[in-house]
Amino acid sequence: MTKMRTRRLVLDEIAKIKLMERGSITEVSGRGGYKFHSHSVYENGKSKGRHVTKAGVDELNQLIAEHEKFQALVKEYEDLVVQ
């Protein structure tokens, strides 16, 4: 019974995640010392990058953290289900 309740709690935590984003953010130095942030993600066998505004960095970091949390919860659920 405890295992079933734990499964339910993990699924409830997964359901609470409304938005998430894959990838990572890096700070890139451009010409003349100009620095900007790039969001890199691997899609369809290729690495893709896009410019992220300074204002969008914190939000994107949060979305990436939500994806990492999702992955950890899925792994935890798998560990509970697989015998």
Contact assessment for residue 26 and residue 37, using Cβ atoms and an 8 Å cutoff: yes
Are 40 and 49 contacting, i.e. CB atoms less than 8 angstroms apart?
Answer: yes
pLDDT tens by residue, 24-74: 999 988 888 888 999 999 999 999 999 999 899 999 999 999 999 999 999
Is the pTM above the cut of 0.75?
yes
